[in-house]
Chains A and B, each alone.
Chain A
Amino acid sequence: MKLPPLNALIGGGLIGTLVIVASIGALWTPYDPLRLSFRYKLAPPSPMYWLGTDEFGRDVLSRLMAGAATSVWISILTVTLAVVLGTLIGVFSGYVRGWVDRVIMAFNDALLAFPGILLALGLLAVVGANKYGIILALGIAYTPSVARVVRGTVLSLREKEFISASRVMGNSEAFTMARHILPNCIAPLTVLATSMFGYVLLAESALSFLGLGVPPPAPTWGNMLAGSRPYIGQAVWLGIFPGLCISLTLLGINLLGDAVRDKLDPRMRGTR
C-alpha cells in the first residue's frame, strides 16, 4: 500500500492529537483548571504538575486541555464564517461585475483598510465580549480578504473558455457558478483559510489580552499566552506551552491544508 504524502501524515497526526486532547479536555482534566492553589503558585514543571502552574497555582496542563476546545472551536467557526461570507461576496461580485462589483469592492476595500483587530474591537463593543461575539466579530473582520481573493480568482476564471463553453451549452449563470467557478476556487481558498486559522488564533489571544476575549477565568490559549507576559522572567513555562500549542496547531493545519488542496486538485494527482 502506498503511504499518504508526508504533509498529510504529519498534519493529520498533529490535528488528530489536538482533537483527541481537546475532546478529553472537555470531559476530564488532571486538575480543575479553575482551582486556585496559592501553595503551588508559579511551580515549575514537576511530576505533580507536568507543565507547571500559573500565578494563581492553576495547573497549566489542565488549563491547556480545557482551553484547546475553546480556542480551536473559536478559530474553526471564525474561519468558516469568513470563508463562507467572503466566498459568497467574492463569487457574486466577480461574476456580475459592472457597477455592483465596484460598489461591493469599494466597501470591501474600505473594510480591508481597517486593521482587523480594530474592527473586531468595535464590533465586540456592540455585541458584547463572549465566545460568539468573538466569532462574529473576527469572522466579519476577516471576510474582506477572502472576498478579495475569491473575486480575483473568479475574474480570471471567467475569461477561461470553459466558462464560455458552459454558457454556450445553455447552462444558467447560477449553475455555471456552482459547477465550474466555485470548485476551481478551492485551491486558493484552502491556502487562505489555513493561514487565516493562525491569524485568528493570534487575534483571539490579542483580544483576550485587551480584555475583550473570552472572559476570565475560562482558559483559552490566547489569554493564557497573554497572561504569561508579566511572568516571562520567572516562569518561562507559562508562555512556552501555550505558544507551543498554538505553533504546533498552525503547523498541523497548514500541512493538512496543503494535503487537502493537493488531494482536491486533480492536476496534483499521480504527480508524486
Chain B
Amino acid sequence: MTESSLLQVEALTLAIKSSGRAVVDQVGFSVARGEIVGIVGESGSGKTLAARAIMGFVPPAVKLVSGSIRFDGEEITTMAPKRLRAVRGSKVGMVFQEPMTSLNPSMTIGRQLEEGLALHRKLDAEGRRALILDMLRRVGLSDPQGALEAFPHQFSGGMRQRIMLASVMLLKPALLLADEPTTALDAVVQRDVMELMVGLTQENGTAVLLISHDLGMVARYCRRIVVMSQGRVVEQGPSADILARPKHPYTRKLLAAMPQRGEPRDLPQVKTPIVAVRDLIVDYPGRQRFFRKSAPKRALHGISLDVQPGEVVAVVGGSGSGKTTLGQAIAGLVKASGGDILFDGKPIFKSEAAYWDYRLNCQMVFQDPYSSLDPRMTIGRLVAEPLRLVPGMAAQDKTARVAEVLTEVGLANGFADRYPHELSGGQRQRVAIARAVVRRPSFVIADEPVSALDVTVRAQVLELFAELQRKHGFSCLFISHDLGVVEQVADRVIVMNEGRIVEQGLRDQIFDDPQHAYTRKLLSAVPGLESTDDGGVRLFWRLGDARQDAPTPRA
C-alpha cells in the first residue's frame, strides 16, 4: 500500500510550545489515491490538529517536533512556503465544520468560487464561469446562475456546505480534508451532504480524509478507520473489522458508548397525565418596522400531548421543526398565543396557585453547558439556587439537599466551591442536571441535553439521567434531534415537523414501523447499531436501505 499511497503520515508529533506537552504523539496513517479514510476521536484527541498539519496549518502555539508527512511523494513538513501554497487548494482541499463562518459574508458566491480557480488554474473568465456553473449544478443548487450573484446569508447551512464543497472540488484536488463537515447540520441534510461529498469525490478520484466524532457516520462512508485518543492512534484498520472486532479498549469503550435501544418499560397507567398540553399555539411576532408590523410567524400550530407520571417522552424533528419552541413554551419561557397547559389536571394559565405549583415542579436542562451556568457563581450556589423558592425549607435542610444531589450526580468531593469554568463539559452538564432535580420536580424538560457532549461523556450523562429518573420518578420531555439517543431513553416518541406533530407512538412502534413519510426520512438518515456477542457492534440501515454495508469504493 505504501507504494501507491497518496498521503503518508509517519511518527508525526506536535507539541504545545510553552509546556512541551505532546498533543499529537507519534501518529502515523496513510491514505491511498481515491480512498476514503476516517479519523475518529473525541475532543482533545488531536484529530483536527493532525489533519491541519497536512495542510501545513499548525497553530502558532504548537510546534512540529518530529515526523514526516509525505503527500504525493513530496515532504510537506519541510516544503517551502510558496510550494506549500500551491499544494493547498489545488491538490489538497478542505471543508470546515461551520458552514455559517467558512464563507466570506461580504462576497458573492460567484466571486468566492472564482478565487481559487483564478489562482491555481490557467483559464479565462468564460472558462471559469462555465466550470463554476457546472459544479454548482452538480452540487444540487436549483438556480446556479442566480447563485453566482447571491451572498452566503441567502443560503441555509446545508446549502452553504454544498457551496463550500463545490468551491473545493472545482480544483479537483487529489485529497479532500473534511473536518466534521456535517456536524452542524440536521440529520436529514447531513445525509444528503455526505452522499453528495462521497459521490463527487469518487467521480473525480479524490481521496477523502474524514474527521469526525461520529463513529456511525464514519463507518458508513469510510473504507478504513483510524481511531485516535489523547493524541495517539490507538487502532486502525478496515471499517468492518473495527466495528465487528475492536481490539483496543478505547475503541470498545467508544462502541459501547453508542446509544442502543433499552428494554421497553411498563409504566403504571394513571388517569390524569402529569402534564397535558392542549392545542398549544406559539406565534413569533413580526419585526416592527416604521408604522407597520410584518406578519407574525407561527412556530407551533396547535400542539396537544400528554406526559404520564414517570414517563420519558421524546420530541424529535429536524431544525426548524418547532421542537425547541415547544419545550420553551411548556417551560413558560415563550408565551403561548393560544391553548392550555394542564399540570396534574389543573390549567396553569387560569390560577396563580396552579401556576406556582407547576413552576416549582417543572424544571429544565439546557443544551449548552457552557452558557447555562452563571459563570460568577460556584457550583454549590448554583445548585442551591432553586431551593430559595421552596416554601418553609430550613437552611440546614437546603445544605444537606445540595450535598445529597451533588453526590447523586457524582460531583461530591470539593466540587461545591469550584466555578463552572473549572469543569469539563460533561461535569457542567451534571451540574445543570443537579440544579434541575434539586427541588425534586415531578416534570423535567431536557432540551438537547447531551448534544454538546463527546460520545463517551454523552453515554455517562445519559446513564446518570436515566438513573435519576428511575430513582426519583420524574416525568421527562426529552427534546432531541439525535435518534440514537432517543431510541435509548424514550418510552414514547413524538415526531415534529414544521410546527406540527406528524406522528406519535410508543418508541418501538415509531422506530420499527414508522407511518409518516417524514418519520421514515428521519430514520433512514441515521444508522442503527446492534451490539454483537463478542463486544463489537453491527451497523445496519433502517427501513431496508439497499446498502447493507459501508460502501467499498475502488475495492
Q: Which residues of A contact B (CB under 8 A)?
A: 160-162, 164-171, 179-180, 183-184, 265-267, 269-270
Contacts and interface: CB of A to CB of B under 8 A. Distances in A.
Contacts of B386: 169-170
A161 B360 contact: no
Nearest to B360: A170
Given A162-B373, A165-B373, A266-B419, 17 more contacts: A161-B368, A161-B372, A162-B371, A164-B366, A165-B366, A165-B372, A167-B332, A168-B331, A168-B333, A169-B363, A169-B389, A170-B356, A170-B360, A171-B388, A179-B385, A180-B374, A184-B376
27 contacts: A160-B372, A161-B366, A161-B368, A164-B328, A164-B331, A164-B366, A165-B366, A165-B372, A165-B373, A166-B374, A166-B385, A167-B332, A167-B333, A168-B331, A169-B386, A169-B389, A170-B359, A170-B360, A170-B386, A171-B385, A179-B374, A180-B374, A184-B374, A184-B376, A267-B419, A269-B419, A270-B422
Contacts of A265: 376
Interface string B289-332: 00000000000000000000000000000000000000010011
Nearest to A172: B389
A165 B331 CA distance: 10
Contacts of A269: 419
B458 interface: no
A164 B375 contact: no
Interface in B413-428: 419, 421-422
B367 interface: yes
Contacts of A169: 363, 385-386, 388-389
Nearest to B419: A266
Contact of A161 (B332, B356, B359, B367): B367
Given A266-B419, A266-B421, A267-B421, A165 B375 contact: no
A269 B421 CA distance: 10
A161 B375 CA distance: 11
A188 to B, nearest CB: 13
Contacts of B368: 161
B362 interface: yes
Contacts of A180: 374
Contacts of B360: 170
A30 to B, nearest CB: 47
A67 B56 CA distance: 61
Nearest to A182: B376
A198 to B, nearest CB: 27
B435 interface: yes
Contacts of B109: none
A184 B332 contact: no
Contacts of B388: 169, 171
Contacts of B385: 166, 169, 171, 179
B364 interface: yes
Given A266-B419, A266-B421, A267-B421, A168 B373 contact: no
Interface of B: 328, 331-333, 356, 359-360, 362-364, 366-368, 371-376, 385-386, 388-389, 419, 421-422, 432, 435
Contacts of A170: 356, 359-360, 386, 389
A171 B389 contact: yes
Contacts of A179: 374, 385
A164 B356 contact: no
A226 B364 CA distance: 61
Contacts of B356: 170
B471 to A, nearest CB: 22
B92 to A, nearest CB: 36
Contact of B371 (A160, A166, A171): A160
Closest 6 CB pairs of A and B: A161-B372, A266-B419, A161-B366, A170-B359, A168-B364, A162-B374
Given A160-B371, A162-B371, A167-B333, A183 B366 contact: no
Contact of B376 (A161, A166, A167, A266): A266
Contacts of A165: 364, 366, 372-373, 432, 435
A160 B366 CA distance: 10
B93 to A, nearest CB: 35
A169 B364 CA distance: 8
B7 to A, nearest CB: 38
A167 B328 CA distance: 11
B371 A161 contact: yes
A183 B376 CA distance: 7
Contacts of B435: 165
B362 A168 contact: yes
Contacts of B371: 160-162
A270 B328 CA distance: 37
Contacts of B364: 164-165, 168
Contacts of B376: 183-184, 265-266
A105 to B, nearest CB: 14
Nearest to A266: B419
Contacts of B367: 161
Contacts of B419: 266-267, 269
Given A169-B389, A170-B359, A170-B389, A164 B374 contact: no
Indicate the member of B328, B332, B385 with the most A CB atoms within 10 Å. Answer: B385
A101 to B, nearest CB: 12
